[in-house]
Amino acid sequence: MTEKTDPALSGAQAPTTSAPSSASAAKPPKKPRFALFVATAAGLGYFPKAPGTFGSLAGLILALVPWWTFDGMVQAVMLAQRNGTFFSLVSARHGDPILWMQIVLAILLAVMGVWSARRAEKFWHQTDPQRVVIDEVSGQHLALLIGCGIPVWWRISAPRHGLPLGFITFRSSLNWKYLLLGFILFRVFDIWKPFPARQAESLPGGWGIMADDWIAGIYAGLGLWIARAMGL
């Protein structure tokens, strides 16, 4: 005797099995909050006007952070030891810790920038969204690192302590002239996008967003280095 299936029962069960799939398809993607926080440089990208300029200013400030951090630690240790041996000891054994901190910061900005820019681009469904300014932050910092980090060999001078702005290396200070010129040069090259900056925008994902600003940063850094070499 063959067992029969009630058509009404099978028809009632059909919507039950399809409901979870349709509900999951309609569920919006989860907002990548941390990636957007990084991509917009802690929200600077949401400024309605000139968000890229604010991103560049953030790059200037980040270039000062390694010296402020290191100087704060040195002052704390010197206060505890009541002598200056720690400063000399760190400089002698580890070369130039300020420069190493700047290099690590540049790499971190680049890696986090590519990752966060790709996530932001995917979430907003836009190519190179204007709100993403981590590329300006990274490019501006790179400009100062190249422009002030590469030594001018025929103009070697002893490091000057007590400068309120900062240092890229122990022998290369960041005075207001270097900060202003580096900022202007980077903004000019970032807007102009000389070869191969504009071509780099066609790279996939976060690479295309970041690469053109790295190239602008390299151009600006070379311009700043030439200015230093000429005695600025």
Q: What is the pLDDT along the chain (232 residues), one digit of tens a residue?
A: 444 555 444 444 445 555 455 545 556 678 999 999 999 999 999 999 999 999 999 999 999 998 888 777 766 665 555 554 444 444 445 578 889 999 999 999 999 999 999 999 999 999 989 999 999 999 999 999 999 999 887 765 544 544 558 889 888 888 899 999 999 999 999 999 999 999 999 999 899 999 999 999 999 999 999 999 998 7
- pLDDT for 69: 84
Which amino acid is it at 181?
A: L
Contact predicate 144/167, CB 8 Å: no
- Residues 6+ positions from 132 with CB-CB distance below 8 Å: 39, 40, 45, 116, 117, 120, 121, 209
Contact predicate 55/134, CB 8 Å: yes
Contact predicate 45/128, CB 8 Å: no
Quickly count: other Cβ atoms within 10 Å of residue 23's Cβ.
9
Tokens of 46: 């949401």
Residue closest to 56 by CA, chosen among 115, 139, 162: 139
Contact predicate 220/186, CB 8 Å: yes
End-to-end CA distance of the chain: 101
Q: What is the 3-state secondary structure (H, E, C) of 44-109?
A: HHHCCCCHHHHHHHHHHHHHHHHHHHHHHHHHHHHHHHCCCHHHHHHHHHCCCHHHHHHHHHHHHH
CA distance 196 to 202: 11
* Domain boundary assignment for the chain: 48-229
pTM of the model: 0.80
The helix or strand, by DSSP H or E, that contains position 173, with its residue range, turns out to be: strand 172-173
Contact predicate 93/8, CB 8 Å: no
Angle at the Cα of 154 from the Cα atoms of 148 and 157, rounded to 5 degrees: 65
The helix or strand, by DSSP H or E, that contains position 168, with its residue range, turns out to be: strand 167-169
